[in-house]
Amino acid sequence: MPLAHLWSLTGWSALSLICLSLAVYFYVNRHGVRIRMQVRYGSPPVESIPLSETILGGVSAILTGIVLYQLAAGHGLALRLIWAVAGSALLVAAGFWAWAAIREFSSARSAATRHWRGQAADACRQIREWMEAPAVRVASCRALSEGLQTNDVRLFLRDERTFKAAYDTSGRDREPREYAPEAPLPKILDRLAPGEVFCFEDGGPRLAAPVAAGRALDGFFLVTGGPYTLPMQRYAGEIARETARALAVADLTAKQAEVRAASQIERRELENTRRALQHLVAPDLPTIAGLDYAAEYWRGDRPGGQFLDLIALPQGALGLVLADLPGFGLDAAIRMAQLQTLLRSRFWAYAEDLPELLQSTERALRASRPASGQVRVFLGRYQPGSRTLTYLNAGAMSPLLIRRGGEGAQVLRLPPTSPPMVSGSTEPVHTADLVLESGDLLSAFNAGLVEAFDAAGEAWGEGRLIQTMLAWETQRAADLVSLTLRTVEEHTAHNLSSPDRAMILLKAV
């Protein structure tokens, strides 16, 4: 046979094979063009005809006939035509038989796929109905057990350092109960994509499906039985993927419920705290000759143990209290009310003896309830006749005295004179006297005032307090205190979680 003739046969054969392969590919993957025909108007349509596959198959049969015709060269024309037509007919018959076989296989595969997809959709819908993690674990294991027809399904979930058995459909306590993350099975499952499964042999066919809501492996199903077909494996993968989503939603729901419960508890405690704070007696505001004074405090969303008090005393004197108890909330509010009651009752009896007033109050506190931390307090008694302030500073912030002189303003501090209350210290308790001169400004304040922070973490500080009082020293005491607290509030950008602030101001006139 001439070489040119051989190349021609090879080309026609290759072209025929290409057409036949395209026809099979289009039919299996359903990429071809299909048409529908009706016998008459109004009749139901018959099954669609795969047009592109039919044309390609016909072209392949014609090309095969051409090849067979050329292969019969040397025979008579009639024999060559019979050989070409018979070969083409045989190819067409084989094509129809293969078509029917492929069609039957594809239909069976499609039916199985549709069945398992429906099963997976129903099972996933049932899993999504549960919002609690234990119920999700049970529902997902039962879905695998019923869908794959096995009673041996175990779910392992990550618990700190290991994967521990979270549910077992068999109800038996058996080994292994946990897997280490570095064990071969978890390491293999960690490399799988969501929805993929791993089939292996370990005393029988087994299937493992990873449970992962993100990149990290959260757990896995271990199913004994099988063997499992590809649609069944996909079913198990979908159940595992839906379980991961459902467990993530259940975990988020549980955290939100905890936050809501904690928020409700905080709201109730805040309401109870505010009701307890209402039992604090408002400061007395008697008229004191030669003295302009004011007191004010600010409380945020977390009331602490700071409070102030002014007490009208005999002979026109004025008692001053600025206390700082440890803690927050209802307990601190109750202890504040108790401390105020004790101090007010003793001021009338021991106004002339502040050390005994402090010690008597401390003894009463120790007798009434166990000590819960040091109590820092500033006590003072102002005598208008001598314009003398006798004070006792038991660990409180040092009050500031601003005094105008010939060389300008001087800033003096009133340092601590005694240890804090309930501190267990044996140091003696002392008092000190301060004579106020006309124009003096004395401010007693708690730590929350000067330690109020802005968004950048900068404290308001004593420097700003001094500047504020010097800038507005001509104002009334009440206005000066209000302006100071407002300035601090603006510094904190109205942050309600800031510590409580309290301030007492004495202005000698």
Considering only residues 20 and 78, tell me which one the structure prediction assigns the higher pLDDT. Answer: 78
Question: How confident is the model at residue 372, as a pLDDT?
Answer: 72
Q: Could you tell me if 120 and 209 are in contact, meaning their C-beta atoms sit under 8 angstroms apart?
A: no
Q: Could you tell me if 495 and 458 are in contact, meaning their C-beta atoms sit under 8 angstroms apart?
A: no
Segments making up each domain of the chain, as ranges: 3-124, 129-253, 280-508
Q: How far apart are CA 452 and CA 498, in angstroms?
A: 7
Q: Whole-number mean pLDDT of the chain? A: 84
Considering only residues 51 and 259, tell me which one the structure prediction assigns the higher pLDDT. Answer: 259
3: confidence class by pLDDT, cuts 50, 70, 90: low
SS (H, E, C) 302-313: CCEEEEEEEEEC
Q: Which two tokens stand for residue 326?
A: 């440890």
Question: How confident is the model at residue 45, as a pLDDT?
Answer: 46
pTM here?
A: 0.55
pLDDT at residue 335 tops 70: yes
Q: Which two tokens stand for residue 261?
A: 């419960």
pLDDT at residue 387 tops 50: yes
Q: Which two tokens stand for residue 284?
A: 């007395």
Q: How far apart are CA 19 and CA 24, in angstroms?
A: 9
Question: How confident is the model at residue 417, as a pLDDT?
Answer: 93
Q: Do 129-253 and 280-508 share a fold?
A: no
**Domain 280-508 classification at class level:** alpha beta
For β-strands 376-383 and 205-211, DSSP reports them as unpaired
The string of pLDDT tens digits covering residues 474-504 is 999 999 999 999 999 999 999 988 889 999 9
Label residue 326 exposed, middle or buried (CB < 10 Å: 0-12, 13-18, 19+): middle
For β-strands 198-201 and 205-211, DSSP reports them as antiparallel
Q: How far apart are CA 341 and CA 324, in angstroms?
A: 15
> Could you tell me which of 330, 255, 321 has the C-alpha nearest to residue 283?
321
Q: How far apart are CA 230 and CA 506, in angstroms?
A: 87
User: What percent of the chain is predicted at pLDDT more than 90?
Assistant: 44
The string of pLDDT tens digits covering residues 272-311 is 888 888 888 999 999 999 999 999 999 888 888 889 999 9
The string of pLDDT tens digits covering residues 172-210 is 766 778 899 899 999 999 998 888 999 998 877 889 999
pLDDT at residue 442 tops 90: yes
Question: How confident is the model at residue 193, as a pLDDT?
Answer: 86
User: Taking the mean position of all CA atoms in its chain, how far away is CA 304?
Assistant: 28
> Could you tell me which of 404, 295, 311 has the C-alpha nearest to residue 354?
311
Q: What is the CATH number of domain 129-253?
A: 3.30.450.40
Q: Which two tokens stand for residue 314?
A: 């005999």
Question: How confident is the model at residue 36, as a pLDDT?
Answer: 47
Q: Could you tell me if 330 and 276 are in contact, meaning their C-beta atoms sit under 8 angstroms apart?
A: yes
Residue with tokens 């959709």: 121
Q: Where are the beta strands (DSSP E) in 329-447?
A: 376-383, 388-394, 400-405, 408-413, 432-435, 441-445
What's the one-letter identity of residue 386?
Answer: S
Question: How confident is the model at residue 42, as a pLDDT?
Answer: 46
Considering only residues 316 and 59, tell me which one the structure prediction assigns the higher pLDDT. Answer: 316
Span of 36-50, 316-330, 366-380 with lowest mean pLDDT: 36-50
3-state SS, residue 154? strand
Q: Over range 62-75, report the average pLDDT.
A: 71
For β-strands 441-445 and 219-224, DSSP reports them as unpaired
Question: How confident is the model at residue 308, as a pLDDT?
Answer: 95
Question: How confident is the model at residue 37, as a pLDDT?
Answer: 46
